[in-house]
Chains A and B, each alone.
Chain A
């Protein structure tokens, strides 16, 4: 079964750091564009970052640029999102999602999400 699973969320102080992970099963993560999307409590969906297969290019939302970093681990079929200099407004559920070329770049597979709470 094709699945994505996030982990690593938790409670962190403002200014702190957290590392989220997105693990794939049933497909090879590195052959797809993978996106991170977050959702603040009771709010809408906000795109955070994206990776392109076979490219070192990674795009980030302006709101996280310079603070968040994506890295890929082909050996474990996973991807990580390093969150630094965290702010209260970074709180929310973080999802990773797979982009489908055959579906005009729609996100066809999503993880269940991992919760990040930034608070003192």
Chain B
């Protein structure tokens, strides 16, 4: 199975801050990397697919990059509605494994 490792697992930030979350795969997965946002009591929401493609309707302050084993999600200017947990996921193979999640909290 492909293991996905996120860092940090939690962070505190202020509105307007630039936030960076990283995700590392245990083997090369090309661009088969997706990012999801989850708020308490809600289903995950697709933000970024294929490592860097913005899902329709997602604000442009979210961006993704990377290929192979190392990937990054950046929120350029954190907004109040962005406080949530973010998960990476590989769609290269079965099982479709997820990272542990990164909780973004208000400083």
Contacts and interface: CB of A to CB of B under 8 A. Distances in A.
Contacts, number: 68
B33 to A, nearest CB: 9
B87 interface: yes
A103 to B, nearest CB: 4
A50 interface: yes
A100 B49 contact: yes
Contacts of A75: none
Most interface-central of B36, B95, B96 (chain A CB within 10 A):
B96
Interface stretch (A8-16, A18-26, A39-47, A83-91): A39-47
A45 B46 contact: no
Given A105-B32, A110-B44, A50 B94 contact: yes
A50 B95 CA distance: 9
B34 interface: yes
Nearest to B9: A44
A56 to B, nearest CB: 15
B87 A103 contact: no
Contacts of B31: 104
B47 to A, nearest CB: 10
Given A99-B91, A104-B32, 14 more contacts: A44-B99, A44-B100, A44-B101, A45-B87, A45-B89, A50-B94, A104-B91, A105-B32, A106-B34, A106-B55, A107-B34, A108-B49, A111-B43, A113-B43
26 contacts: A37-B98, A44-B98, A44-B100, A44-B101, A45-B38, A45-B89, A45-B101, A47-B95, A47-B98, A59-B94, A103-B34, A103-B50, A103-B55, A104-B32, A104-B34, A104-B49, A104-B53, A105-B91, A106-B46, A106-B89, A106-B91, A107-B36, A108-B49, A110-B43, A110-B44, A111-B43
Interface of A: 35, 37, 44-47, 50, 59, 61, 95, 97, 99-100, 103-108, 110-113
